[in-house]
Structure 1
């Protein structure tokens, strides 16, 4: 068997990955033991162990206490649609961001006042330590957590107004654009920066992932006449969802 010039553990992991993806090792099948990997590929115990670690970090296999390592069930990624257009009436913004209209979308939220840290201050163009309203969300598809979000709004703008708490009052759940319009702030632009990184421990716990799983992070900021009025981090599990953009052409 020819593997090329890759490190031995990556070559072994690559061959096992191929067997998983082509169905030779179907879901719930026990991964060959360390001894079997060592014998089949002619490698050391260290190489066999590192190869298994690679597959676990990629989320292809999972360890079961006292039983061994098994191939994980691979879900077909679903789409989370992002759009530059939303009608003034109708479904909530979260519902519109889901591609499948049959999705049973719901969310939980918690808001609290806090001081802007350097990152949030830079994004909102305010001073470090200025007061902001931070709101944390867990978005669900049925019983499964599909997305996390943390948003920050400057209290110098929304404080002591009916929209100070995003999920309370007459405009709760209607989105940033409508809430800001209620206090005569016209949102006219939004930016989104998309990146990926390993999920943090608390994120993966909330999203049902395992250590090493990658998450998609969308850094979103709403503007009114060039002034940032809200910024947020949206976190999506990369193995279960894809982010699709629908942008109008002008």
Structure 2
């Protein structure tokens, strides 16, 4: 019988919390992170535990210490904002993007479902789907080109998906409200490949260039796919997964 996973030690839980704030954009490059003293107070832990949390963040490359000043997010931090960071940021702050990011909707229309989209959404090949494409900039540089797909039935109940404007409450929150279906969990698959001509143009990449491809599927409370998104990221940025115990 497999054993249940042990809870991460407190110092890693604290480090992961700060790491998530960095990945979400709540703490940006050059921002000061909480001190040992502040962490000890906020988390009700001993100072050595707080010090170990900060050391873990340094070892992972998220922060750097400055003699006599404090601990700061590294200036060279360039993480990709994956869907899970945006979900948690929207939940906790009511905002999807940090101050240095913005999105432009490139297209929003009905299309015919390609094979891989039909499979992801449990549709028949050739079914009508909503195709919604956006380009995200960070500090005026393009950092993500993504295309979201929804079943035709979702588009009928959520007509704003077909408007080339940002949905201020967040696309998934709007889809939930419009359809009455609640997003329960999501699955991400990551791979890499050479960028297409269109991707190189939008992401301002030389020829040839590789891109990180993330395929993201959101499921509702009945395990039915609600949204399928393909996101492309430039090669000079990275995606962080998780810190976990190794037996």
Same fold (TM over 0.5): yes
Whichever structure has more strand as a proportion of its residues is 1
2:108–2:161 CA contact under 8 A, matched in 1 = no
Aligned partner of residue 230 in structure 1, secondary structure: strand
Shift in Å, 1:81: 3.9
Count of residues in correspondence between the two structures: 165
Which digits, 9 at most, give the CA deviation of each residue in 1:189-246, with x for residues without a partner? 100001111111110111111112111000001111211111011100012x111246
Aligned to 2:189: 193
Is 1:132 matched up with 2:135?
no
Distance 1:125 1:202 in 2: 27
Distance 1:167 1:248 in 2: 40
- When the two structures are superposed, what TM-score results if normalisation uses the length of structure 1? 0.58
Distance 1:235 1:164 in 2: 20
Aligned to 2:173: 178
Whichever structure has more helix as a proportion of its residues is 2
Larger Rg: 1
Change (3 A) 1:236 1:164: closer
Distance 1:248 1:188 in 2: 23
Distance 1:107 1:232 in 2: 15
- When the two structures are superposed, what TM-score results if normalisation uses the length of structure 2? 0.59
Shift in Å, 1:163: 4.5
Change (3 A) 1:77 1:198: farther
Is 1:157 matched up with 2:154?
yes
Q: How does 1:64-143 map to 2 (within 5 A)?
A: 78-82=78-82, 83=84, 85-88=88-91, 90-93=93-96, 95=97, 101=98, 104-109=100-105, 110-143=107-140
